[in-house]
Amino acid sequence: MTTAGPIYVLNGPNLNLLGTREPDIYGRDTFDDVVSLCRTSAARFDRSVDVRQSNHEGVLVDWVQEAREHASGLVLNPAAYTHTSVALRDALAMLDVPVVEVHISNVHAREPFRAHSYVSPVATGVIAGLGVTGYALAIDYLCRTAR
């Protein structure tokens, strides 16, 4: 029997600052709290996560390419690159594993430019507006479905 690969949890620009401002939109949890939440969620299924954050589009593209080889599933909060990045979308389109796009805030209830995502059409599913709980739900889904 082979062991399932880790679930990659990739986060885009500024999410390292989570919990330091705009608590009305993003809540009070810090990025470290998100890392702990992801680990706990996966551990329930005896699975592991690899949680990363970058402010750089090319780094995120590199990690998505790496996920093709090593991950059993991907949780992605592309942050602002959601609304701008064709490069990220193209990298995701080459993935064979399931991808869950997560947004802490409800992007459809905010400025109109946040309603469009380059990522959603190539994602398996999308969670938005449930706070950081969205990460736990995405990991729960991937643990139940992705091997």
Which positions are annotated as active-site residues? 26, 103
Look up tokens 């949780």; give the residue.
Answer: 75
Which residue of the chain is nearest ligand CA2 when measured via CB? 105
- For every residue of 62-79, DSSP letters joined together read HHHHHHHHH-SEEEEE-G
Which residue in the set 10, 15, 97, 99 belongs to the binding site for ligand CA2 (CB under 6 A)? 15
| Closest approach of ligand CA2 to the CB of residue 12, in Å | 7
In this structure, the number of other CB atoms found within 10 A of the CB of residue 47 comes to: 21
- Using CB under 6 A as the binding rule, whether residue 17 contacts ligand CA2 is answered as yes
Does residue 75 touch ligand CA2 according to CB under 6 A? no
Q: How many residues bind ligand CA2 (CB under 6 A)?
A: 17
- Contact between 36 and ligand CA2 per CB under 6 A: no
What is the rounded CA–CA span in Å between residue 63 and residue 81?
A: 14
Q: What stretch of H or E contains 76?
A: strand 73-77
